[in-house]
Structure 1
Amino acid sequence: MMTGTKGNTTYYRLYIDGQWMDSASGRLTEVLNPANEEVIGYVSDADLEDVQKALLSSEKAQRSWKLLPAVERARYLVKLVHRIQEEREHFARLLVLEQGKTYREALGEVDDTMAYFMYAAESATRLKGDVLPANRQGEMLMIQKVPYGVTVGLCAWNYPLALIGRKLGPALVTGNTMIIKPHELTPIASAELFRLIDEVGFPPGVANLVTGTGVEVGGALVSSPITKLVTVTGSVRAGQAIYKAASDNITALSLELGGKAPFVVLEDADVDQAVEAAVGARFANCGQVCICNEMVLVHESIADAFTEKLLERVKSIKLGDPFDESVTMGPKANGRDLEKIDVIVQETVRQGATLAAGGKRPTGDGFQKGYWYEPTVLTNVTPDMAAAREEIFGPVLPIVRIGSFEEAVSIINASELGLSAYLYTNDYRKLMQAIQVLEVGTVFLNQGMSGCMQGHHSGHKLSGIGGEDGEYGIEGYLQKRTVYLNYA
């Protein structure tokens, strides 16, 4: 069974080798609702013995899984999508409870999860190698693409379900097996997804789930010689630690790490469109999106008009019960990050910025407990201030005035991070220049935050290596083998 009982406590178990099992330690980790800090469930806290079981199970399963035709592997994913669709609302409710996003946003995440799995399934008929001209008569030269073997997916808490779809689908369709380790803050939707994986009938060991703390469980998964590829969504600091842990075994890595996406608005931009996009790209999911608008760089000639309209738009954001359809922003997912955000805001104000909106926790009914923070706007910010330098990952938007496009480029490229950037302008020369000069993985030109499954999501500089999504994301789970065939 997926759940076990300890006294009066019901908890989610580990899923290893096609079986639900208790952790070897017997320890449990509680999961809190970020809206009110109430316990919504418990999960098994895996230890090193459980990790080794999962690794050996994945290693054994991969030997036969890789031999299945890709279209057969894809059929399992399609069946899984159909089951998720049948329980779409159930998964959305789980996401609201454990992560705090609004119900509307949660439904969108469930839909994205299905889309990731379906794209991976559809890619089964597009996996290809190469046949190249050889140097001798009677010789054939081929490049074959083969799976890595046992892979590990370490998932962040901001999109606990979609990130599994983003990683697990491509890994499995290409013939790898995968061990999923969800973040300890948000493991329940993951466990429920593995209930469907079990019901669909994936071969034992093809997909395993271990829950627990990142330091012990994640570290053991990354450093094992059985693990051949690790894909991570997380912070820069976590990525650096994983990079070092993987180095002894030269384990392949795909790291999607922190970002500090600037939102540039030049003097000829459509201000109304830019305001709407800037607000949407900052406050979606309470600002907890890696490619979120982290700061506005607005031309000084339109800064007053832009700021006035943006502040008016921010006032319309409604905090409250994420299940309430009229609510447009829920709580932060955890208290530790909430404290960090408040420190950044207060430090930026001490440095000379103006607190134009928010800057504190809301009060009144519904906000006595939970990780709430008002939509916040800081003006008169300069590039050297805390809110302009540090990744906020929350509902805080600093506004920096710039004098030119070139100044914006200089600020952006001076950052150690390079995940994404936004630019609003009607000067197509500037748009084309931005494509060439901005040192980031994704550029949004005259549009807000979005994404396509067939695109590619990757970071430059400290924001990561490798990447996910689309044809290139699928290929990231394959390594090349060169074959010389003599038929003379």
Structure 2
Amino acid sequence: MIKGKQANEEYYKLYIDGKWVDSKSNKLIEVQNPANEEVIARVTDASPEDVELALTSSQRAQSDWQALPSVKRAQYIIRLVEKLKDKREFFAELLVLEQGKTYGEALGEVDDTMAYLTYAVESANKIKGDILPANNVGEMLSIQKVPYGVTVGLCAWNYPLALIGRKLGPALITGNTMIIKPHELTPVASLEFFKLIDEVGFPPGVANLVTGNGPEVGHLLVSSPITKLVTVTGSVRAGQAIFKAASDNITALSLELGGKAPFIVLEDADLDKAVEAAVAARFANCGQICICNEMVLVHESIADEFTEKLIERVKSIKVGDPFDSSVHMGPKASKLDLDKIDSIVNETISQGATAVLGGKRPSGGIFDKGYWYEPTVLVDVTKEMAAVQKEIFGPVLPIVKISSFEEAVELVNSSSLGLAGYLFTNDYKKIFEATNILQVGTIIINQGLSGCMQGYHSGHKLSGLGGEDGEYGIEGYLQKRTVYLNYKE
């Protein structure tokens, strides 16, 4: 039996203009615990009228918020972080219940949320413009960085709380207002987070939250002429739909979309270190991380030894109750995604691959309900097979033998996706070459899953445009304004 309390609310309302409000639609969405399929909460399915109220509220609040000095805006976020810290364990429980990650991973997500917000606070007095030499006597040329205005944050289900921190902190610190739309699978932690926003007393309209189905509510937010910037974490398909919906108003976009991160292991790699990194980068959060290791490309001279070591390591992964501290992996977040993974595995096996570990849904006891999948390793995989061509986003690791570094690069660069990639080698020439020619937004060398708040997270090709984190991420919420000032008569 999965433990953990259920949400106390009869249902969650919308947070618009500093108030919790009922929807005009009178419709609700049920939120399930993916470990046992029990309904843990009901949330409002916003109507078009609700969305318009949120948009006009954000628009009304934005000019006064922008006029507030950035260090004053930061004080609101500081108090928000303090309140989140006091309820760290409560939010971790909510994340386990609605998303299925282990309690330890959930605590880490809460900590990341606070870190994102804190980084935004620390950037409050570091936003810079430029003064450039002008062409005329008595003239000053300057370039300012100013907020877009009303922004929209569309958040994915794999990190429902951290993605709010990642988007809301930079948006607000730079003088924008923001409407958050959480994914319909995982809206509860975000709703509870907005209770903290309400307690802090942010000015009405500065931060609004609407819940509902993405194709309807999300489309209304993106296509509105009020919206000036949309930041999205989601699938390629969702990103393409958002791109089209934003096109009429030429709305600015930041899209972090799907990935197919290769994990390249060359013949001189430290195998033990590579195995540990490959496993951690694949099975963390049940493989539901955008820069997860989606496929190992291992040199044929070491492939058998690497595979043997990797299988033994994957066998040690314990799947079960995500509240159990001895468990390493919980369930998938939804049945739809579980079915997709199962389909990819079965298709890859039908194409000639072999599942040497896992390859199916577990059964019996706790596994009779919920969206569980066994940690899976596929061998005899070739580059044409489904597990290499399709984004898995789950606990399945295909292993492909390569004959050279060049073959790996060709496979990676031929993909339409380019979010991240891993490389294990001690050959510094290949390391430098990889940083120049691998067509991905992030390259991780001789280590596992990595990311720093001061770094930059972006995708190439269909994996997106724009990006988040660090100084460049903050700048993504600002547009430039050039000023020519004549100070002589």
Band of TM-score, shorter chain: over 0.9
Partner of 2:289: 289
Partner of 1:391: 391
Partner of 1:50: 50
Structure 1 distance, partners of 2:258, 2:311, is: 27
1:122 has 2:122 as partner: yes
Partner of 2:426: 426
1:363 to partner: Cα distance: 1.5
1:482 to partner: Cα distance: 0.3
1:366 has 2:400 as partner: no
Structure 2 distance, partners of 1:450, 1:196, is: 29
Provide the secondary structure at the position in 1 that maps to 2:277: helix
Structure 2 distance, partners of 1:140, 1:340, is: 59
Partner of 1:308: 308
Structure 2 distance, partners of 1:161, 1:406, is: 40
Partner of 1:169: 169
Residue type at the aligned position of 1:376: T
Partner of 2:3: none
Provide the secondary structure at the position in 2 that maps to 1:227: coil
Partner of 1:27: 27
Task: Sort the Cα spacing of 1:326 and 1:58 in 2 relative to 1 into closer, same or farther, 3 A.
Answer: same
Residue type at the aligned position of 1:390: K
Provide the secondary structure at the position in 2 that maps to 1:10: coil
Partner of 1:65: 65
Q: Deviations over 1:29-67 (max 9, x none)?
A: 100000000000100110100000000000000010000
Compute the TM-score of the two structures, normalised by the length of structure 2: 0.98
Partner of 1:403: 403
Matches within 5 A, 1:330-369: 330-369=330-369
Partner of 1:452: 452
Q: Deviations over 1:226-254 (max 9, x none)?
A: 00000000000000000000000000000
Matches within 5 A, 1:33-432: 33-432=33-432
Structure 2 distance, partners of 1:299, 1:214, is: 42
Superposed structure 1 runs of 4+ greater than 2 Å apart: none
1:281 to partner: Cα distance: 0.2
Structure 1 distance, partners of 2:68, 2:308, is: 59
Residue type at the aligned position of 2:165: G
Residue type at the aligned position of 2:423: L
Partner of 1:484: 484
Q: Deviations over 1:336-367 (max 9, x none)?
A: 01001001000000100011100011112111
Residue type at the aligned position of 2:134: A
Q: Deviations over 1:178-207 (max 9, x none)?
A: 000000000000000000000001000000
Structure 1 distance, partners of 2:363, 2:244, is: 44
Residue type at the aligned position of 2:60: K
Q: Deviations over 1:366-424 (max 9, x none)?
A: 11100000000000100000000000000000000000000000000000000000000
Structure 2 distance, partners of 1:144, 1:390, is: 43
Residue type at the aligned position of 2:193: L
Structure 2 distance, partners of 1:308, 1:364, is: 28
Structure 1 distance, partners of 2:315, 2:328, is: 11
Compute the TM-score of the two structures, normalised by the length of structure 1: 0.98
Structure 2 distance, partners of 1:334, 1:237, is: 18
Q: Deviations over 1:416-453 (max 9, x none)?
A: 00000000001011111000000000000001011100
Partner of 1:3: none
Task: Sort the Cα spacing of 1:138 and 1:333 in 2 relative to 1 into closer, same or farther, 3 A.
Answer: same
Structure 2 distance, partners of 1:339, 1:487, is: 67
Q: Deviations over 1:133-170 (max 9, x none)?
A: 10111100000100000000000000000000000000
Structure 1 distance, partners of 2:77, 2:297, is: 43
Provide the secondary structure at the position in 2 that maps to 1:191: helix
Structure 1 distance, partners of 2:333, 2:29, is: 16
Structure 2 distance, partners of 1:397, 1:313, is: 13
Partner of 2:5: none
Structure 1 distance, partners of 2:394, 2:104, is: 19
Structure 2 distance, partners of 1:76, 1:316, is: 45
C-alpha RMSD of the superposition = 0.7
Structure 2 distance, partners of 1:215, 1:427, is: 47
Provide the secondary structure at the position in 1 that maps to 2:137: coil
Provide the secondary structure at the position in 2 that maps to 1:421: strand
Structure 2 distance, partners of 1:339, 1:109, is: 26
Structure 1 distance, partners of 2:43, 2:80, is: 23
Q: Deviations over 1:87-130 (max 9, x none)?
A: 00000000000000000000000000000000001100100100
Residue type at the aligned position of 2:254: S
Query: Unaligned 5+ residue runs, structure 1?
Result: 1-7
1:9 to partner: Cα distance: 7.5
Q: Deviations over 1:307-362 (max 9, x none)?
A: 00000000000000000000000000000010010010000001000111000111
Residue type at the aligned position of 2:74: A
Provide the secondary structure at the position in 1 that maps to 2:444: strand
Residue type at the aligned position of 2:198: D
Structure 1 distance, partners of 2:179, 2:417, is: 28
Partner of 1:475: 475
Partner of 2:439: 439
Provide the secondary structure at the position in 1 that maps to 2:366: coil
Provide the secondary structure at the position in 2 that maps to 1:482: strand
Provide the secondary structure at the position in 2 that maps to 1:367: helix
Residue type at the aligned position of 2:308: E
Residue type at the aligned position of 1:138: G
Provide the secondary structure at the position in 1 that maps to 2:151: strand
Provide the secondary structure at the position in 2 that maps to 1:293: coil
